[in-house]
Every structure is written in C-alpha cells, then in structure tokens.
Amino acid sequence: MTEPQPAWSDEGGAARTRALFEAAFGEAPDGVWAAPGRVNLIGEHVDYNGGLCLPIALPHRTFVALRRREDDVVRLVSALAPQNVWTGTLENVAPGRVSSWVAYAGGPAWALGEDGFALGGFDAAIDSCVPLGAGLSSSAAIECAVGAALDEVFGLGLLAAGDAGRARLAAACVRAENDVAGAPTGGMDQAASLRCTAGSALLLDTVDASVTQVPFDLAAAGLELLVIDTRAEHALVDGQYAARRATCHAAAEALGVGTLREVTDLDAALAALDDDVARRRVRHVVTEIARVVEFTDLVRAGRVRDVGPLLDASHESLRADYEVSCAELDVAVAAARDAGALGARMTGGGFGGSAIALIEAASAGAVAEAVANAFADHGWAEPGFLIAVAGPAAARVA
C-alpha cells in the first residue's frame, strides 16, 4: 500500500477514543485531548547540543480520553491492547516503577507533581494514528496528550497561559520521557507537540528552549513533504543514542565550551580534538546547526524550492559523520531523489525510522511507488507513507 496514511479528524479520533474509555471504565470521560507526532525538517541530533532544530507538528495525533478521579488511583488503557487495563497509583508512575507506554502515559503526572502541582488520580484511554516507533515521536505524543488533559482536569492553567505555560508542560513531558521512561532524548519532540502552530515550522533554540514560528506553506510553492516510514528496526539503538550524546558532551568539555553550539571556528575545534570519531561527531553537529540557519533563511525568503541540497547534505552528514543512518534509510532517500524529489534525508533519531522527501505536489504516488519498488528489490518489508502538513499543537478536541 503506497497510499499515504490519512490522519484522523478531531471527531473521528475523539469518537473512537471515547468508546475505548467507556468500554474499559464503564463511564464517560471528562473530555478528549489530542497531541501530534512531529517530523523534523532539519537540525538532527542537535537538541542535546544546544543546537537549533526545525520540526513541524504532524496532522497525525495521539488521542486521550481522560477522567479525573478523587483518589490517587491511575488506570490506563491503550487501543493496542484494550483488554489490558494497567492499574496503579500516582506513586507507581515514577522513575524505575513503570516501563514502555505506561511510562509515557503516566510519567507526566509524576513530572508535574515534581514541578509542584497537586494532582490526583485519573483514568485514561489512548489511541493513535501516529505510526509507532517510526521516529515520528509517538512517545512524546502520548506524554503531551496526557499532559494537556491533566492540565485541564486538575486546573493547572498551563495551556491557558499561552506559550510560556506550554513550554513548562513540555519540560515536564521531557522529564517523563527521560526519567520515567528512561529514554535520554532531547527536548525537540515535546516542544513540537505542544508549541507548534498550524501552517508554521517551529524554530527551537535548545539553549534556552525559546521558539520562533516560521511560516511554512509548501502547497503555495507547489510542493509536498512525503514521509517514508522504513519500518526498519535495529537493535542497540538506545545505547547508540546515549553514546552519541556522551561523545558530544565529552568533546564540548575538551573544547572548553558549554555545548557544541558555542563552537564558532569548526576547523580550529577539529584540530584541537585528537579522536577521529569525536571530530566527525562534532563536524556533524556544527554543520547541521548551520544548515538549520540556512534552511530557515531560505524559507523566510520565499525560497523553499531551494532547500533540497540542504536536506541532502544533512543526510550525508548523518550517514557519514554521525553514523546514525542505516541501509533502509539510505535506499529510501536515494530512491526518492531518483524519482524526482528535490531533496531527502533521514529524520528523527535514525537506525531505522523515517525519512522525508521534498517533492512536487501530486508526485507522491510516483515517488512512493519508486521507494516501495526499491525496498522490494532488497527483499525488505513494504514501507509506510504519509504526507506531512504543518498541523496544530496539543489541544482539547471534545
């Protein structure tokens, strides 16, 4: 099926999630909230190096139907396993106590408690059309949907406070991912899910978590963004991510800077490092941050048609210097370019997951088919596709 996977509407997503809630818990939820997955246009593996990144919120979202409880019991259910209701208390959704999706769904309650907010127990049901484990941040989408729901039912006032409140909620969701789920990711995913606006990309400066909305209208330029989910999974990914992070932090220390963002003279920095692996990692980070600036400048100048070479250069840097690509991602971007894409690159953490291709409007079918054929030639499972349009951030939908 090379047909792009559609996103659920507010009504469609809310109806199925409400039904899941009612079947599991026998009563109606207080409401339904939804938070998007994201795709990063450029600025990969820089969010833990004080860098800049430029994600858009996907139209594909995770929905949560949630009801506040007056005790401290927490009950969670996912449409992936509707017969398995996880039951615990607020004390249980803490670091070292839960794993997997329960950590993503329960973790925000712990993190908000750590932030000084008084919360009680809750029942929550989740369902999602964000592809899972595809590098499109289905994990942050769960955290941010639950976070938005808890904010409202417990009257925390974060979403009502505008972007500053959303930033504080995003920080709590990052702690849920880092401390409760134990995934050492940076802050990009939660910022995208909570702070994007429809029609714009989010320029996130990870030094101070400040954001700038960058209008991003591909349709006006006759273009589309095709997301290719390779469906490739590779072992040892968590260890690789932590290793990249550690190498970058050690290199920053050796260079006497707080983060690699502060490196202004790349040649001097490379000369000062005595380890070839560290040099290549630093070269990726520093050149990638520069590409984000160039990309943003082109978009602001109305020249989005000219960003293709930056996408290609980002992929090459991630492949050769940062070494986080894989055969499936390399084949996907090569096949997309051969089929006419203006540029293509892996997106997200890598080692599988998704790639993006900037394509002419109405060419998605042909490009998707070319990628699917290339995968078939390698004997790989068929990839998935979706069209990314810059959608809105987390919000109540019903």
Which of 28, 80, 160, 198 forms a contact with ligand ADP (CB under 6 A)?
A: 80
**Total count of residues recorded for the chain:** 398
Closer of 139 and 200 to Mg ion (Cβ) = 139
Query: Which residues from 237-296 bind Mg ion, rule CB under 5 A?
Result: none
Residue 152 or 229: the one with the smaller Cβ distance to Mg ion is: 229
**Which tokens sit at 357?**
């291709």
Q: How many helices (H) and strands (E) does the chain have?
A: 11, 13
3 state SS of 223: strand
Number of residues that bind Mg ion (CB under 5 A): 1
Q: Which stretch binds Mg ion (CB under 5 A): 42-50, 87-95, 134-142, 295-303?
A: 134-142
Q: Is 139 in the site for Mg ion (CB under 5 A)?
A: yes
Q: Name the nearest CA neighbour of 35 among 226, 243, 240, 189.
A: 189
126 interface partner picked from ligand ADP, Mg ion, none, CB below 5 to 8 A per type: ligand ADP
Nearest to 122 by CA among 104, 105, 97, 99: 105
Q: Residues with Cβ < 8 Å from 79, sequence gap 6 or more?
A: 16, 17, 20, 125, 126, 127, 128
Assess 241 for contact with ligand ADP (CB under 6 A). no
Piece in contact with ligand ADP (CB under 6 A), picked from 40-48, 96-104, 295-303, 359-367: 96-104
**Residue 104 carries which side chain, given as an amino acid letter?**
Y
Pick one of 101, 110, 117, 122: the residue that binds ligand ADP (CB under 6 A).
101
Residue selected from 24, 53, 54, 136 as contacting ligand ADP according to rule CB under 6 A:
136
347 is a site residue for Mg ion (CB under 5 A)? no
User: Nearer to ligand ADP by C-beta: 9 or 100?
Assistant: 100
The stretch among 83-91, 124-132, 265-273, 279-287 that binds ligand ADP (CB under 6 A) is 124-132
208 catalytic, yes or no? no
Contact map string, positions 49 to 78, toward ligand ADP, x by CB under 6 A: -----------------------------x
Q: Is the dihedral of CA 59, 103, 154, 189 positive or negative?
A: negative
Rg (CA), the chain: 21
Residue 383 interacts, among Mg ion, ligand ADP, none and using kind-specific CB cut-offs from 5 to 8 Å, with: none
Tell me if 149 contacts ligand ADP by CB under 6 A: no
Backbone angles phi, psi at 126, to 5 degrees: -125, 145
Closest Cα partner for 368 from 5, 94, 111, 116?
5
The type of residue at 239 is: G
Q: Strand pairing of 122-128 and 73-78?
A: parallel
Q: Which of 189, 229, 312, 321 is catalytic?
A: 189
Half-sphere exposure of 156 (CA within 13 A, CB side): 27
Binding site for Mg ion (CB under 5 A): 139
Binding site for ligand ADP (CB under 6 A): 78, 80, 100-101, 104, 126, 128, 132-139, 142
